Structure 1
Amino acid sequence: MSDEYDLIVLGAGPVGENVADRAVQGGLTAVIVESELVGGECSYWACTPSKALLRPMQALRAAQRVRGVDGGSIAPAEVLARRDGFVSHWSDEGQVTWLQSAGIDLVRGHGRLTAEREVTVTTDEGERVLRARHAVAVATGSDATIPDIPGLAEAHPWTSREATAAEQVPESLAVIGGGVVGVEMATVYAGLGAAVTLIARRGLLERMEPFAGEQVAEGLRGLGVDVRLNTQTTAVRREGDAVTLTLDDGHEITTAEVLVATGRTPRSADIGLDVVGLRPGRSIEVDDTMRVPGSDWLYAVGDVNGRALLTHQGKYQARAAGDVIAARSRGEVIADDAWGRHVATADHAAVPQVVFSEPEVASVGMTADAARDTRQQIAVVDYDLGSVSGAALHADGYQGQGRVVIDTERDVIVGATFVGPDVAEMLQAATIAVVGEVPISRLWHAVPAYPTMSEIWLRFLEQYGRQSA
């Protein structure tokens, strides 16, 4: 292998893979540097294993919500075995084979920026210096944040990695944090038979519409989870096989394991950012083409830039970055206007997300509060999803809610949220409406098939018409 490439990528997760792949498709040579498994966090310790764990419980609950289905149970060992298959038993052989087929070289080791367009990799054999003719892209991801709670680090808590890779189900689990990881893992382990306590400093899913967190809290309680809101953990101690958490209300909880799910920190502390004038341990600021301001060669893509900590958004950024790196190498005109192919415009106001909790939450774009903060003239349209014919047929006693946020000056939807069983598959229609800025008058002609849950779109339009009259 050469030591000089057109593009060097730090990090072989889905984001780094996509940056390299798009650049190679654009005619460049590329190498990826990775110290762990090729495929990254999403493939082995996040998206893939967590959804593999969640799906059996979702399928069972879906069946049990329909009259005429009798019984059914979860087999925890089989659930874990199914998860193992989806993560290839933590082997990256298949991912490495894909890199080779895509024409992307791999160097295993820890890479650091050591000069302009230069990366030094510490490998098992020593150090290897790589040089980039055109660009270096940092796609190193993020790590779970361990808050500064007395005794917590010494108690060896689980993070999302341990939670998604566990070989056995603990008898009990305390979850610190009310965000996506917290509620999803509480859903998993309650479904697998553990006694789960979830402790949130405020509410659940606070970046979403308030009703989303409220309904998820109710759903988790229905699974037997002890949900404690507006509560802080003040101290943690481990004694043998037991962990005791002291709460700010004076109560103590003793559990077999404790999971910390309080956010993510960019993995940028030891990659040589100081050499290029950036602060280690921080998110790397970029423009909409993912290039670091003031540089003509350094890019940061995915979690490490702090824009949208979601795998699908990172891959979206990666497609833009790989294409623009190739285009700039050829001196082509860059399509960096809003919604151009070389920019990640959707990061600002059209980010879709699904929380695979009980119930599911699917959202895209702005919440009502966020839209108001931009001083837009807005209308908020809420509708009971359970009263839609398709939902009533989908599950007996279906409970859920939908909301759209409408910019009344432009008459377009700028945000949508759905809560309820199986709402994830409704999200793409909302995403297209937001990204495409489809006028309300045109949406009347997007007729929802009957009887499906998508009929809620017609109800939104009818309700908006009544509110506007």
Structure 2
Amino acid sequence: MAENRWDVIVIGAGAVGENIADRAVQGGLSVVLVESELVGGECSYWACMPSKALIRSGLALRAAQRVDGTAQAVTGDIDVAALLARRDSFTSNWDDAGQVRWVEKAGIDLRRGHARLDGAKRVIVTDDNGDVTTLNANHAVVVATGSDPKLPDISGLVDAQPWTPREATSVKEVPESFAIIGGGVVGVEMATAYLDLGSKVTLFARSGLLNGQEDFAGDLVAKALRARGATIVTASPTRVKRTAHGVEIETETESFTASEILIATGRTARTSDIGLDTVGLPVGDWLSVDDTMLVHDTDWLYAVGDVNHRALLTHQGKYQARAAGDVIVARAKGEPVDDAPWGSHVATADHGAVPQVTFTDPEVASVGIMSADAQKQGIDVQIVDYNIGWVAGASLQADNYEGQARLVIDRELQVIVGATFVGQDVAELLHSATIAIVGEVPIARLWHAVPSYPTISEVWLRLLEAVGRP
């Protein structure tokens, strides 16, 4: 059993683990990354990148079809083989050699194998050959192991061998028909993609689509999916059975069949086999952290990304990693820690300023607190809605543009606390809303942020006009 020592050990070499390792190395600390699968993690190979590559071709095609002049030039269907080949290029054909080169160039050490904590600041790594190495940390161990799909309790589901998002995003042979259980982000994005791939899609969403977003977001996405031929079932399956011909799905009142079935009903912490018991923490739970990502009741263990359950989004995990990497360096060197709200060593934006884009058609872009949640929190809110299709830039972007915008305003503070945009090409509107919320820009000052004409961003002026002059 070999033994080695670094300043920081990072368990999990996904995008989040890579970022925290890079920040620590830039701060002068020695770092080792431990990864049991592909360096680059879920986002690079099975989530963000391949899923958006699957979706993008269809979005581009329909954008062209919505503009008179180019619509007449579009005469063919999506080339599925070319689409899948393009998807493969973004995953480097599931080869992490490029990511490994980056790790080496950044001055970060890499160990392959399964990592388990073995007491404070100590990690045991078992590689594929069964060889064991003990790693010791001078200052910190970081858990960046991410999350796994959560399987609902449905009779026969496990035996039916359902797809997880990994199988859906790495598909080689497109199923003729495709059932999806779950109406959240993964469910609606994969419904969008598989309709483009030519599958007949049935989406099971007992409580509707995109719960947690403004109601109109799920309504507009459901309308668009149905218009493209998807069946949306507002009931949960009670039984699933794999047969020689595919999958049988039953609800309390109906039966359905599909070639394949995808489970998209949430995530669970990937912490069941990383040795949490050796440091007195519950096995399999999400790791609770403070705003510097330090696990509660420890002074050396950090948890970053999905595994802390604050915001299961790659960009938020990387944001947490930047803050945590810097604070680990500061603590290691005995330097001051800037942990006040919006300080450089904290992830304050996790509390009420999280941006998210759902890559459906129409897109859903949101940030901050949704109107219902703001009211539950006791905020005196003003809700301002505007039809994006009434904006000149939107009508130029697409004929018969359909979309909706909403601002959630704190009347007392006169600042925006939430914003949602639904429509074609609205993702790029989101960062302006994020800046307004994070910066707590007063409504009166926003009147002087003049949107260019004619662009979709002119919706900001129309929303402010609906708010009224301060």
TM-score range, shorter chain: over 0.9
Q: How many positions carry a matched residue from both structures?
A: 465
- 1:241 deviates by 3.2
Pick from 295, 306, 309 the counterpart of residue 309 of structure 2: 306
Correspondence for 1:296: 299
User: Whole-Å Cα distance in 2 between the matches of residues 45 and 146 of structure 1?
Assistant: 18
Letter in 2 for 1:179: G
1:409 Cα deviation (Å)? Answer: 0.6
Question: Is it true that 1:456 corresponds to 2:466 in the alignment?
Answer: no
In 2, Cα distance between equivalents of 1:284 and 1:392: 47
Aligned equivalents of 2:228 and 2:436: distance in 1? 34
Q: Give the C-alpha shift of residue 383 in structure 1.
A: 0.2
Please point out which of 102, 117, 140 is paired with 1:98.
102
SS at match of 2:115: strand
Cα distance between partner residues in 2 of 1:159 and 1:199: 15
Query: Partner amino acid for 2:250?
Result: T
CA offsets 1:313-372 (integer angstroms, 9 cap, x no match): 000000001000000000111000000010000001000000001210000000001111
Correspondence 1:182 to 2:187: yes
- After TM superposition, list the pairs within 5 Å mapping 1:111-260 onto structure 2: 111-123=115-127, 124-229=129-234, 231-248=235-252, 250-260=253-263
Q: Which secondary structure does the structure 1 equivalent of 2:110 belong to?
A: strand
> Following superposition, which runs of at least 4 residues in structure 1 exceed 4 angstroms of deviation?
none
Distance in 1 between residues matched to 2:451 and 2:98, nearest whole Å:
40
Where does structure 2 lack aligned partners over 5 or more consecutive residues? none
Q: Find 1:357's aligned residue among 339, 352, 360.
A: 360
Structure 1 counterpart of 2:80: 76
Q: 1:34 corresponds to which residue? A: 35
- Which 10-residue stretch deviates more, 421-430 or 116-125? 116-125
* Cα distance in 1, alignment partners of residues 327 and 198 from structure 2: 49
* TM superposition shift of 1:2: 7.4
Deviations 1:210-242 (CA, angstroms, capped at 9, x unpaired): 00001000011111101112x010000011131
Are residues 1:378 and 2:358 paired?
no
Matches within 5 A, 1:4-15: 4-15=5-16
Alignment correspondent of 1:64: 65
Gaps of 5+ in 1: none
Aligned to 2:54: 53
The TM-score normalised by the length of structure 1 is 0.98
- Which of 398, 402, 414 is the matching residue for 1:399? 402
TM-score by length of 2: 0.98
Question: Do the aligned residues in 1 keep the contact of 2:3 with 2:134 (CA within 8 Å)?
Answer: no
Once the 2 structures are TM-superposed, how far is the Cα of residue 73 of structure 1 from its aligned partner? Answer: 1.9
Instruction: Report the secondary structure of 2:123's partner residue.
Output: strand
Distance, in Å, in 1 between the alignment partners of 2:290 and 2:173 is: 44
- 3-state SS in 2 of match to 1:233: coil
Secondary structure of 1:186's counterpart equals helix
> 2:48 is aligned with what amino acid?
C
1:246-285 map, 5 Å: 246-248=250-252, 250-285=253-288
Contact 1:191-1:223 within 8 A present in 2 as well: no
CA-based RMSD of the aligned residues comes to 1.0
For residue 419 of structure 2, what is the aligned residue in structure 1? 416
Report percent identity of matched pairs. 62
Question: In 1, distance between residues paired with 2:334 and 2:408?
Answer: 41
